Structure 1
Amino acid sequence: MNGEPTRQNWLMERVRAPWRGLGLWLLSIPAIFVAGLLNSTLSMVSIGFGVLLVPMVMPLVRKMTDAYRSRITEWTGHRIERPYLPEAPEEATETGSALQLRRFQRLIADPATWRDLGWLVADPIVSVFTAALPGLMILYGFWGWNLTLWAGGVIGDLGGNEWYTFIQVNEDYTSHPARMVGTAVLGTVFMVAGFLLGPTMLDVYGKWGRTLLGPTEKSRLALRVRHLTESRSEAVDASAAELRRIERDLHDGAQARLVAMGMSLGAIEHLLDKDPAKARLLLAETRASSAKALAELRDLVRGIHPPVLADRGIGDAVRALALDHPLPVEVTVDLPSRPEPPVESAVYFAVCEMLTNTAKHSGAQRVWVDLGHRGDMIQVSVTDDGQGGATLEGGTGLRGIERRIGTFDGVLALSSPPGGPTIVTMEVPCLLPSSPQV
């Protein structure tokens, strides 16, 4: 039973690959015009117009190469990140000619600009011998069969003369069955070879695209610095908001109760001799207030760092969340040991937020939480059978989760078609220690 899907996948891969390669080759048609436009604007730099025109043309160039990156990533499996250097901080404050000059300098200094230009110039040729070659072989094979069935006779009747590889097609073509059979055999060979070579040549093309369209070390470092700056800023903002929440909860909750308890104890002290019955009543109320203050402090501590997380680890902490959830939650944990405390805490609160969102918005009947470790990544998926339609847009809770795990270079992916199911997947880099999980 497992062999049949494998054969189907193998066959589908070889059927799709040649036509995808031709599709990538067809992208070179608009790419030629874009490359010519960029070359023209660069040639005008010496007379000053290029300084104004290059920043205007570059968005079109990058849109063109982004289309390549998207298709190559989807069709070849070679993921290509956008390599462009971020804007300089000065660009946010400058205007007019100063801004145009600053943008021009940044674009010219960006290695990705020249790599994009090199790609647009070279790809129409390179793609013919890589991605498009299998599709062209298949089309050439179809032409061979076409010559055998009827086109060869038409060419001969019209007095034409051409060659199909080493077989001559002329007025004597139809009177030589060996030529016709040879043409059909060669056509079949070309078609079979095209389908068999398709995935391999598409993979070669994907590597070529990743080499030229991917980020250089300079741009990778710059993008990394920008990401760390943004995630640090978000982490600082989140920490400040959390501190304000703790301060507000203490001020409005436990602190207010403790102040009231102090006042009650003072009243009790004066009533002990004058009205012992009323003093005992106030003492009972004070004891009840102390119990409530203690409960509020415990809830506050649990919100900062749950004791079960500190004592038992992320697996049991998530199981505790499942027990308190209003929906049936099935938890699967496959962790050889405990992650580092900061990562463990981030993953815990991310799962907590996702389960809260599920209870509020999904309309689900059941929820599944899978927690595992693959390579150097902690992988978490939360699946529900609800109505679907969840989105990362509009400042939703999922966006907050994404920012939380982004501090640790984590990523979040969402699949939530209308009608469900909704699957939220997180991956957070983490090398687990060798000790077993507690």
Structure 2
Amino acid sequence: MDIETKSGDRRPATDRTRTMAQSALRGLAVALVSLPGSVLCFCLTLVSLALVPIGIGIVTTPYVLTGVRMFADWRRVLAAEWGGVRIQRAYRPLPKDANPWARTFGMLRDPATWRDFLWLPVDMTLGFVTALLAFALALYPLEGFVIAAGLWRVWDGGTYWYGFVPVSDQTTALYAAALGAVLLVAAHWLTPFLLRAHFRLTDAILGSHQVELAERVRVLTETRRDAVDTSAAELRRIERDLHDGAQARLVAMGMDLGTIEALLEKDPAKARELLARARRSSADALTELRELVRGIHPPVLAERGLGDAVRALALRLPVPVETDVDLPGRAEAPVESAAYFAVSEILTNAVKHSGAERIWIDLHHADGRLRVSVTDDGKGGAVIGAGSGLAGVERRLGTFDGVLAVSSPAGGPTMVTVEIPCALS
């Protein structure tokens, strides 16, 4: 049997059952740990704060609050991994060499500390209930099937209530089994929902959306500044290339033409020699202009799109490259250009520094994001450091809210992944 989800795809019932069972066990684990953990953290915090006026709390409070933060961080990890809910961590940094007085009152002045303190009683009550319900809702339907098997008589010689069904004979036991089947079907959807509701409740108290907004503004400010700096540097590069390359050749060609005009009647042989040199200079200037234009926006990228441009880029490398492209459309020109030059920089680094014998490129679009992965079998050790080419790629991608991830253990392999949110035409 298949079950159709909201997104329109069809998932086997076994997958739904596995998800329900997984959510139920996770809810039980969270409930068993959250209740004693929250009670312990809450009581220790109250006692430590009460001891601050007599001086003992000044020493103990930083340790207690650090433990509370570790407990809250553990819940943040579970929320991200088990519920798909990312909870912002927004603790203010403390001086490394701060004395107990400065640490205590520095932590107490942090709004995130009081959000943690407010979250503890909520977690031990409503949070415990929502997590435990996720387990109970998946377990309770099984009782209806146990009743239908006749085992209810072992528990009670008279009437046994299952939900709103009074069980007193085999017929009513079958009614209980039918109710259990209905509850089991409902549990397939409600159990994961209750677990996510538990983590969203945690996010509503622990999360700091104002801090998240401030972080977003900071990132946008930095990426805008980087974009302006990158554009200015690119303009200076173009100006320098024109001045030192094509412009110098054109000036020399103009001087040669003036000399040819003066020698045309007096020394035709010398004039023909200078004319040939001027023709070579014009060809060299044209080649340099084409290279300059290709560096600004490659013609193959404009004409045939990112997929073919990456394939053409791979063909020019001295090592074998396998490309896998799955793009049902084209992104906007700035996004294509950013992705192309990011791949170009990554490939250049792989050829120069990794010692790779083979490179794989995977380029596809899914879930509203353009994703490019470049993997090589080189020696590894690549990092995003200041002054490196990868750091420059990361800054340029930030203009488009793109991200760069590097996995490069010592000995290889190295995998560099680029993701840029965009829509395809």
Q: Taking structure 1 as the reference length, what is the TM-score of the superposition? A: 0.65
Mark the CA change 1:85 to 1:304 in structure 2 (over 3 Å): closer, same or farther: farther
Aligned mate of 1:345, from 337, 359, 374: 337
CA distance in structure 2 between the partners assigned to 1:427 and 1:240 by the alignment: 25
Post-superposition shift, 1:397? 3.1
Alignment RMSD: 4.8
* 1:315 Cα deviation after fit: 2.7
State the one-letter code of the partner of 1:372.
Answer: H
Name the SS for the 2:420 alignment partner.
Answer: strand
**Are 1:406 and 2:412 an aligned pair?**
no
Query: Residue 107 of structure 1 aligns with which residue?
Result: 110
Structure 1 SS opposite 2:423: coil
Match of 1:117 in 2: 117
Could you tell me how far apart the structure 1 residues matched to 2:49 and 2:371 are?
A: 49
Q: Residue type matched to 1:348 in 2?
A: Y
Contact kept, 8 Å, 1:333 with 1:372, in 2: the verdict is yes
Distance 2:108 2:20 in 1: 44
Indicate yes or no: 2:371 matched with 1:380: yes
1:129 aligns to what? 129
Unmatched runs of 5 consecutive residues or more in structure 1: 92-98, 138-164, 167-192, 434-438
Paired residue type of 2:314? A
Alignment of 1:302-313 (within 5 A): 302-313=294-305
Q: Out of 353, 356, 375, which is 1:363 matched to?
A: 356
Cα 1:62–1:292, aligned 2, differ >3 Å: closer, same or farther?
A: farther
SS class of match (1:325): coil
After TM superposition, list the pairs within 5 Å mapping 1:222-301 onto structure 2: 222-301=214-293
CA distance in 1, matches of 2:262, 2:251: 17
Counterpart amino acid of residue 385 in structure 2 = G
Contact 2:370/2:422 (CA < 8 Å) preserved in 1? Answer: no
Aligned-residue offset at 1:105: 11
CA distance in 1, matches of 2:47, 2:249: 75
| Residue aligned with 1:255, SS | helix
Gaps of 5+ in 2: 1-11, 95-101, 138-154, 157-183
Q: Which moved more, 1:342-351 or 1:262-271?
A: 262-271
- Which whole-Å CA distance do the structure 1 matches of 2:265 and 2:31 have between them? 95
Offset from partner CA, 1:359-413 (integer Å, 9 cap, x none): 3326142423222243xx2322324351463544323433332222221112233
TM-superposed CA distance for 1:12, in Å, is 9.4
Q: Which residue of 2 aligns with 1:323?
A: 315
Task: Confirm or deny that 1:334 pairs with 2:327.
Answer: yes
CA, structure 1 residues 358+221, in 2 after alignment: closer, same or farther (shift >3 Å)?
A: same
Q: How far apart, CA to CA, are the structure 2 residues paired with 1:364 and 1:61?
A: 50
CA contact (8 A) 2:83 2:195 kept: no
Distance in 1 separating the partners of 2:69 and 2:363: 39
Q: Deviations over 1:110-153 (max 9, x none)?
A: xx55433222333244454344678899xxxxxxxxxxxxxxxx
CA distance in 2, matches of 1:63, 1:220: 20
**Residue 354 of structure 1, CA deviation:** 2.5
Q: Is the 8 A contact 1:354 1:382 kept in 2?
A: no
Q: Is the 8 A contact 1:382 1:424 kept in 2?
A: yes
Separation (CA, whole Å) in 1 of partners of 2:45 and 2:283: 74
Q: Provide Cα deviations, 1:340-366, integer angstroms capped at 9, x if missing partner.
A: 222222122222222323333261424
The separation in 2 between residues aligned to 1:259 and 1:37, in whole angstroms, is: 81
**CA–CA separation in structure 1 for the residues paired with 2:287 and 2:198:** 63
Q: Give the counterpart letter for 2:398 in structure 1.
A: G
Give 1:232 shift.
0.8
**Amino acid paired to 1:346:** A
Other structure's SS at 1:295 match: helix
Instruction: After TM superposition, give the deviation of residue 298 of structure 1 in Å.
Output: 1.1
| Residues 282-330 of structure 1: CA deviation (Å, up to 9, x unaligned) | 2222221221121111111111111222222223322322332332332
Identity of counterpart residues, as a percentage? Answer: 46
Number of positions where the alignment pairs a residue of Structure 1 with one of Structure 2: 368
Residue in 1 that maps onto 2:83: 77
* CA 225–55 in structure 1, closer or farther in 2 if over 3 Å, else same: farther
